[in-house]
Structure 1
Amino acid sequence: MKSVIIVGGGLVGALQACFMAKRGFRVDVYEMRQDIRDMEVVRGRSINLALSTRGREALRRVGLEDIVISTGIPMYARMIHDLDGTRRPIPYGKADQFIMSVDRRHLNELLLTQAEKLPNVEMHFEHKIVACDFNAGRITFSKSDGSHVTAHADLVVGCDGAFSGVRQQMMKKTLFDYEQVFIPHGYMELCMEPAPGDKFAMEVNYLHIWARDEFMMIALPNQDKTYTCTLFMPFDIFKTLDTPEAVLAFFRDKFPDSLPLLGEKYVTETVSTSKALPLISVKCSPYHVKDRAVIMGDAAHAMVPFYGQGMNCGFEDCVVFDDILSKHNNDIAATLKEFTEVRSVDAKAMCDLAFYNYIEMRQSVNSRLFLLRKKLDNFLYWLFPNMWMPLYTSVSFSRTRYHQCIANKEWQDRLIRRALYMSVPAMAALGYCVATRTRLLDAPVSETIQQLVERLRPTWI
């Protein structure tokens, strides 16, 4: 039986353990933290996740989709909060399309428990990676008591996050392209308590957004009737909110309708005494070393959270890897090579899309042109469902490869620009006919338009 060491017992690591064990590999999972199932509070990561089609497919394959969906909250649209308190929904797609707000800790615990049910999986908590010898398949870990242990395996899978220790070891052993970007915006989380009567304080089945062009606040619903609110903003603005008075003035000016729901005292004390956390994006290649090691999830492609695809992309890594293993009949060397070739181009595309969606969420949703284009995309999708799929729909509600989603969007943009270009002379011809009392029926419409085009062409050039 071939053996696999998975470094990282988070979402992707625990899921990958399920996939590999189901294929008959002996799996050992090494996690730096203690078992989160024994912890009262898990710090350092957001409570909220947005689960969509790609992630659901991965969970379905390990038998967890139904239970995760049953404990999540569907969100069918963005709910935009304007400055005057007006709320307006922008649907994500068709009436039956939604993303799920799921609890990170609950999902991680489910995955760990599911992996442990398999007889060929063993968990090792409080083990931090120290060194790797990929040629020998040997990894050294330090334990919480200061001692060191060494483990051996045929394959090492690094699922240990944006600051991956496995990736750092890979960078020492191979020609490795690496790009790390911290954006000048940070984030801070707030909690909106339930309304009187233990009810949700706002409409439930929405991702709430306070879009303010340069920054924004979002809120996702939780099963306990709370909302996790996240403020995304330039660090320079966060620095100005260092007193309760400054925070109160800021929220009254920018998020007035949120104050009664969050509570003035809670907001002023929390924001003025908390530190905004950074947002990182990582691109790298290759994802593997020979036939000995591979990285997945944030270790391979950490992304800013604005498309809600970080977890979904990491989960899809497991699906893609599993499919390639089947294709090559468990040949690890062939699988790792193809996984890098196939997945790196898509993960880099998704990292770019995540940056793009920040602009859409904090700024574009306030634009009439954006909303008009959204309606046009949805109409064309309804009219030509097999030919025209909006960008968000293809990313969140299909398994179209990420780079192809971008290519489709670029094709759609070109087509619309050409259609608009062609409609200008058509509308001008109509105006010309009205102004000169020329009847369109006096000649074929195409001839009327063509004559006007020839007459106006010099002015366009």
Structure 2
Amino acid sequence: MTQSPRITLIGGGLVGALLAQQLAQRGFAVEVFEKRPDPRLAGFLGGRSINLALAERGLQALRSAGLADDVLQRAVMMRGRMVHDRDGHSALQRYGVDDSEVIWSVSRGALNMLLLDAAEAAGVTFHFGQSLVAVDFERQRIRLADAAGVEREQTVGLLIGADGAGSALRAAMNAHAPLGERIEALGHGYKELEIPPADELAATLQQLGGGRDQYALEPHALHIWPRGGYMCIALPNTEGSFTVTLFLPAQGAAPSFASLPGSTAAAAFFSEQFPGLLSLIPRFAEDFDHNPVGTLSTLYLDRWHLDGRALLVGDAAHAIVPFHGQGMNCGFEDTVVLANLLAAAPGDSAEVFAEFQRVRQPNADAIAAMALENYVEMRDSVADPHYLAKRELGALLAARIPAHYMARYRMVTFTHLPYAYALERGRAQDRLLEQLLRENPDVATIDIEAAAQLLVSTLPPLPALRHG
């Protein structure tokens, strides 16, 4: 029998910890080097989004690791988008057909710590506070530095980089043999604020007519304040708070982060553009002045691996913007594919790494494109009459011919259909919806039976296996 190779993972974040656990479950000896301190001892260090959207792809990976139930106990269900207009009115746009199709708001820190515990229980060895400084790919050795800058060398096995968008392993691989790296900046940034639990807002909520239990807003929704070109969103946390994220152009004329140099200007902007929201953020000045402006970019690589010696996964290989809520889910999907490939051919890492890229890269490219498109949809289209008409028509067709029509968002979020398939099928369906609405823009007067027959005659049935 072929002996399983030793595996060295760089990065112990969400994808790294889950991949380590999956590999250990399949009998591999796994060692992880993480530059940050152990969050279970030092506390979780922020700097990136505090909470994330967990959907079916990520849940399926967690199920395969035996962790889905534990994670869901620490999550808040979100049924859809609660869209807030400028007049203070709101309306829920469901993500799926019912409560069997929801997404979950999860804390990045809590999820990371749960995954670390699970990986250690599976036999993984973690080394925290260890930054990758250099790699000697010929000698299979790496150089690491601790928090004090003290360096040491370490012999490694198969190198896998799960160390995020700023991957140190990717930089080392690229220096050794160029990977064809392209980073496309969105030109927009983000800043996080917080709505505290309702009991901290008691006086304000009384003036506004009350809250919902411990939450200041409807807890089972992802809240969006779309304003065309920019937006705010808010995701619920289990303790009753909401993480609010403002997305704006980084530079240029107002509104942009450059035009809002401090909390005074920002508060005036919020009062005008997001009525009612400012009063729910009592620490607005502190949050705005102290929280950094995050950057948003998409990473593309021609090559994800260096023959059979090193491979990149998750954000290290294909970082995307967050507007489809799929970055973590895509990375988790990576872990299952890679762990299964390695388990099937443990002695042929070069072939495994090549096959992993062949299978996953088209899907990574597809979700990158859809995430960029979803930003426009969230900030502009959700309040647009034509978008709403197309959404209404799509819902009628989904109910009438479920074997032939499913909204692209549902394909991405609630099924295991490949991202690349969802992208192309979604485009084909959209062309037909546009054709129908061009001929008759009033959904109420469209002959749904004839519209259904058009789709059935034009598009093949959806794959039978859709849900997990």
Please tell me the TM-score bracket, short chain as reference: 0.7 to 0.9
**Would you say the 8 A contact 1:11–1:107 is kept in 2?**
yes
Query: Is the Cα contact below 8 Å between 2:53 and 2:103 reproduced in 1?
Result: yes
* Counterpart position of 1:336: 353
Establish whether residue 387 from structure 1 lines up as the match of residue 404 from structure 2: yes
Of 262, 267, 281, which aligns to 1:248?
Answer: 267
Identify the residue that residue 143 of structure 1 maps to in structure 2: 146
Q: 1:413 maps to what in 2? A: 430
8 A Cα contact 1:241 1:272, kept in partner: no
Which amino acid counterpart does residue 320 of structure 1 have in structure 2? V
- Aligned structure 1 segments of 4 or more residues deviating by more than 6 angstroms: 421-424
Which of these two proteins has the greater Rg computed from alpha carbons?
1
Q: For 1:165-185, what per-residue CA distance to the aligned partner results, in whole angstroms no more than 9, with x for missing partners?
A: 111111123342111122211
Are 2:255 and 1:239 aligned?
no
Relative distance call for 1:423 and 1:184 in structure 2 (3 A) is closer
How big is the shift at 1:142? Answer: 1.5
| Coordinate RMSD, CA, aligned | 1.8
1:297-348 CA deviation, whole Å, 9 max, x = no partner?
1100111111111100110101111233355466322211111111111111
Deviations 1:70-101 (A, max 9, x none): 11001001000111110111000111210000
2:243 aligned residue (228, 233, 240): 228
Report which stretch shifted further, 132-141 or 228-237.
132-141
SS of equivalent to 2:190: strand
The 2-side partners of 1:325 and 1:147 are apart by 34
Match of 1:112 among 109, 112, 116: 116
User: Structure 2: which amino acid aligns with 1:374?
Assistant: R
Tell me if 1:298 matches 2:315: yes
**Unmatched 5+ stretches in structure 1:** 425-461
Within 2, Cα distance between the matches of 1:308 and 1:423?
A: 33
How far apart, in 2, do the equivalents of 1:122 and 1:242 lie?
A: 45
Task: Tell me the number of residue pairs that the alignment of Structure 1 and Structure 2 aligns.
Answer: 421
| Partner of residue 79, structure 1 | 82
1:209-224 to 2 correspondence within 5 Å? 209-224=224-239
Equivalent position of 1:439 in the other structure: none
- Amino acid in structure 2 at the alignment position of 1:314: G
Report how far residue 273 of structure 1 moved.
Answer: 5.3
Shifted more, 242-251 versus 15-24: the winner is 242-251
d(CA) in 1 for partners of 2:151, 2:26: 30
Give me the whole-angstrom Cα distance separating, in 2, the residues matched to 1:147 and 1:268: 39
Which residue does the alignment assign to 2:104?
100
Tell me if structure 2 keeps the 8 A contact 1:93–1:378: no
Shift of 1:287: 1.0
How far, CA to CA, are the matches of 1:23 and 1:115 in structure 2? Answer: 12
- 1:270 is displaced (CA, Å) by 3.2
Q: Does 1:33 align with 2:36?
A: yes
In structure 2, what residue type is equivalent to 1:28? E
Is the counterpart of residue 310 in structure 1 residue 313 in structure 2? no
Matching of residue 366 in structure 1 with residue 366 in structure 2: no
CA contact (8 A) 2:394 2:433 kept: no
1:73, 1:221 within 8 Å by CA — same for their partners in 2? yes
CA contact (8 A) 1:8 1:29 kept: yes
Unaligned runs of 5+ in 2: 203-212, 442-468
Aligned residues: percent identity?
Answer: 40
Q: 1:374-398: CA deviations, max 9, x gaps?
A: 1222222222222211110011111
Q: Which residue of 2 aligns with 1:208?
A: 223
**C-alpha distance in 1 between matches for 2:176 and 2:215:** 52
Give the distance between the partners of 1:16 and 1:268, measured in 2 at CA: 40
Cα deviations across residues 431-457 of structure 1 (Å, max 9, x unaligned)? xxxxxxxxxxxxxxxxxxxxxxxxxxx
TM-score by length of 1: 0.87
Structure 1 counterpart SS, 2:172: helix
| Alpha carbons 2:44, 2:109 under 8 Å: kept | no
